[in-house]
Amino acid sequence: MSLLFIFIFGLIIGSFLNCLVWRLYKEESLLGRSYCPHCRQLINWYDNVPILSFILLRGRCRHCRKKISWQYPALEFITGLLFVLAFIKNLGGWATFSGFGPLDLMLQINSNHFYLSLIRDYFIIAVMLIVLIYDLRWYLISNLIIVPAALVIFGLNLFLGFSWYSSLLFAIISSSFFLLQFIITKRRGIGEGDIWLGFLLGLIFPQLSLWWLMIVVAYLLGSLVGLILMTSGRKKWSSKLPLGVFLAAATIFVLLYGQVIVSRYLAWLA
Ligand SMILES: [Zn+2]
């Protein structure tokens, strides 16, 4: 029951993210009502229900019958799913969750640390989904996203007990890692936006083990997708793949499963 509620909450946030990505790009106010990008007709609330409206309208605008991008329901569904996964992770994983009685669940949920950690995860997932869509569509990482996100995560880190200097120092080191690649590759393959994103990623993972895992996952994912696109002839060697997309996807993955992977790896080593 609680999981269904969280999934619906995620759908609503996902719908908001769709709107946010579009308006950030168009530099429009967040307050106005949504409209169809083809016929500019305002969208009624009943045509704006996450996923349901898309199915009922069969993916077309009610007024001009032009196609609505599949990206809208996809982002809504993915946000809903990720919010559920993050909730389960914060309760100590699926094994703990399924073994919980209602009282255990209440006790766990009533701690401040649980809420702060969950809010931090939800915020990071939302920001990374925006970065991913934005970079995929327009090959750009906007500082309108990175700067406010960095401030919020820095604040949440303080509340969660990370010291301000280690948080900041790690963010600078993380940013320098991308700056170094930017200089070495002479701006090829890596953009200025990735340096700013690097700063944010340092704040998100102020532990070396998780940060490294995120980097490894991102570059592996990038190489794999690059290889698939190349062998299927869809992209040439020279055409660039946006790095931000893979960094954002790896960040969400490591946020959800990094701790488990690192502790299993350490146990395996010992
Ligand atoms: Zn229309």
Q: Cα–Cα distance between 65 and 103 in angstroms, integer?
A: 51
Q: What is the pLDDT of residue 22?
A: 86
| CB neighbourhood size of 161 (10 A) | 8
Q: Give distance in angstroms: CA of 42 to centre of ligand 1.
A: 9
| CB neighbourhood size of 40 (10 A) | 9
- Return the closest-CA partner of residue 51 out of 6, 2, 82, 7: 7
Q: What is the pLDDT of residue 139?
A: 85
Global pTM value? 0.91
Evaluate if residue 228 carries a pLDDT over 90.
no
Q: Give distance in angstroms: CA of 63 to centre of ligand 1.
A: 5
Q: Give distance in angstroms: CA of 199 to centre of ligand 1.
A: 40
Q: Please state the domain extents for the chain.
A: 1-110, 157-270
Dihedral sign, CA of 117, 121, 123, 124?
positive
Q: Give distance in angstroms: CA of 40 to centre of ligand 1.
A: 6
- Return the closest-CA partner of residue 192 out of 242, 150, 248: 242
Q: Give distance in angstroms: CA of 60 to centre of ligand 1.
A: 8
Average pLDDT, rounded, for the chain: 88
**pLDDT per position as a tens digit, 29-50:** 877 788 888 898 888 888 889 9
Q: Give distance in angstroms: CA of 81 to centre of ligand 1.
A: 29
Q: What is the pLDDT of residue 205?
A: 95
Q: Give distance in angstroms: CA of 38 to centre of ligand 1.
A: 5
Q: Give distance in angstroms: CA of 43 to centre of ligand 1.
A: 9
Q: Give distance in angstroms: CA of 69 to centre of ligand 1.
A: 12
Q: Cα–Cα distance between 262 and 260 in angstroms, integer?
A: 6
Q: Give distance in angstroms: CA of 65 to centre of ligand 1.
A: 6
Q: Give distance in angstroms: CA of 35 to centre of ligand 1.
A: 8
**Which residue, chain included where needed, has tokens 């007024």?**
63
Distance in angstroms between the alpha carbons of the first and the last residue of the chain: 40
Q: Cα–Cα distance between 194 and 112 in angstroms, integer?
A: 33
Three-state DSSP class for 42?
strand
Q: Give distance in angstroms: CA of 22 to centre of ligand 1.
A: 16
Between the alpha carbon of residue 268 and those of residues 75, 209, 261, the distances in Å are: 36, 15, 10
Q: Cα–Cα distance between 168 and 153 in angstroms, integer?
A: 11
Q: Cα–Cα distance between 183 and 155 in angstroms, integer?
A: 31
| Mean pLDDT on 213-226 | 93
Q: Are 66 and 39 in contact (CB under 8 A)?
A: yes
User: Phi and psi dihedrals of 92, rounded to 5?
Assistant: 100, 25
